[in-house]
Amino acid sequence: MRTQVGIIGAGPAGLLLSHLLHLRGIHSVVLERRGREYVESRVRAGVLEQGTVDTLVESGAGERLLREGLPHHGIELRFGGAGHRIAFEKLVPGRAITVYGQQEVVKDLIAARLAAGGDVRFEVTDVVPHDMDTDRPYLTFGGERLDCDFIAGCDGFHGVSRPSIPAGVLTEYEREYPFAWLGVLAAVPPSTEELIYARTGRGFALHSMRSPEISRFYLQVPVDADVEDWPDERVWAELRARLETVPGFTLATGEILEKSVTPMRSFVAEPMRYGRLLLAGDAAHIVPPTGAKGLNLAVADVRLLTAALAEWYASGSADLLDGYSAACLRRVWRAQHFSWWMTTLLHTFDGEDAYGERLQRSYLDYVTSSDAAAATLAENYVGMPY
């Protein structure tokens, strides 16, 4: 078998790359180790930047997003017994976020690829990239071989793409945080119209949503927390304690559909290219979810990679391919800093002294009273322009 671009991973990065390449007349094959039902149901991020929404709509895969997504024009920072709204419409006019689950994005992209006759293969075993440092790379999987011009590693942090790069090529930067998030999906209408980021002495909490009927919550928990230690009653009690801190706010409760614990980590691998293997999305970088940047960074990577490959096929020029890693990493490090900043601003740290807590409170007061400081938060949150 032969294709122009072999893509490892059928998450948002791999599927969107395949679809954007198709729109440029470039053939690809997507290989995914999980089944279609699994990739369409795994709950991940749900906050889409303005640029991500625009990209999906322009690609033709955004019809349901526009119909069912929930546009938000602000977020609330809740601390010290009061709520403070960061108003996007005032601070970054014309730009917003849209709440729409990652699994819904994946469903839309799979449907778009299959409708266009795309080659997306699920439950593919033993994928291995070969000869990435030559002009004849290829992939083996399940006893088969796929020759290609380029390989795109879009298979996430635990995938095979990045570990296939020889030792010593990549420089890896990493930071682990001393806490985790307990994520909760509940069949309950949201108690708020916009996301609430709450900083309390008990720890951080986030009230988000996935639809008018489904809410998403996060609680800061110890890094070694076991989901079995968090029965539903304890979850709701802790969410009420951290969110019902302003007059008149009552948290709606209901059936919990899913619970999981996610460690908090920052990671970047440089460069994002090794010969004819190009990394995109979580295969190259991950961020703590506080800033809602993971999926959005993957989309930004894919936009740049599509343009670079399209230029190579159209003219033979490798200029954009040669600049791919540096171009991606400029945005990646901006998002890394923003995600680190949001995380350290809103979470409690074991052993933190009173001085550190006062610094957090000082900056929270500043960012909610200064338009200049609030605009910096808003600009980064809705996504820096492409």
Q: pLDDT (tens digit, 9 = 90+) per residue, 341-379?
A: 999 999 998 877 888 889 999 999 999 999 999 999 999
> Same domain, yes or no, for 137 and 158?
yes
> Same domain, yes or no, for 66 and 187?
no
> Same domain, yes or no, for 136 and 244?
no
Q: Reply yes or no on whether the pLDDT at 93 is more than 90.
A: yes
> Same domain, yes or no, for 193 and 126?
no
Q: pLDDT (tens digit, 9 = 90+) per residue, 282-315?
A: 999 999 999 999 999 999 999 999 999 999 999 9
**315: amino acid identity, one letter:** S
CA 98-114-283 angle, to 5 degrees, is 60
Nearest alpha carbon to residue 361 among 375, 340, 344: 344
Q: How many domains does the chain have?
A: 2
Q: What is the C-alpha R_g of the chain?
A: 21
**Inter-CA distances, 53 with 13, 61, 94, 129, 377, Å:** 14, 10, 13, 32, 19
**307: amino acid identity, one letter:** A
pTM of the model: 0.95
Q: What is the pLDDT of residue 354?
A: 87
45: confidence class by pLDDT, cuts 50, 70, 90 = confident
Q: What is the CATH number of the domain that holds 138?
A: 3.50.50.60
Q: Reply yes or no on whether the pLDDT at 42 is more than 90.
A: no
Contact partners, residue 270, CB within 8 Å, separation at least 6: 170, 171, 172, 173, 325, 329
227 part of a folded domain: yes
Residue 19: how many CA atoms within 13 Å on its side-chain side?
Answer: 28
Active site members:
72, 197, 289, 293, 381
- The domain of 227 spans 177-264+348-382
Element (H, E) at 20: helix 12-23
Q: Reply yes or no on whether the pLDDT at 211 is more than 90.
A: no
Cα–Cα distance for residue pair 207/319, rounded to 1 Å: 44
> Same domain, yes or no, for 14 and 134?
yes
Cα–Cα distance for residue pair 54/386, rounded to 1 Å: 11
> Same domain, yes or no, for 52 and 35?
yes
> Same domain, yes or no, for 355 and 232?
yes
Average pLDDT score over residue span 89-114: 95
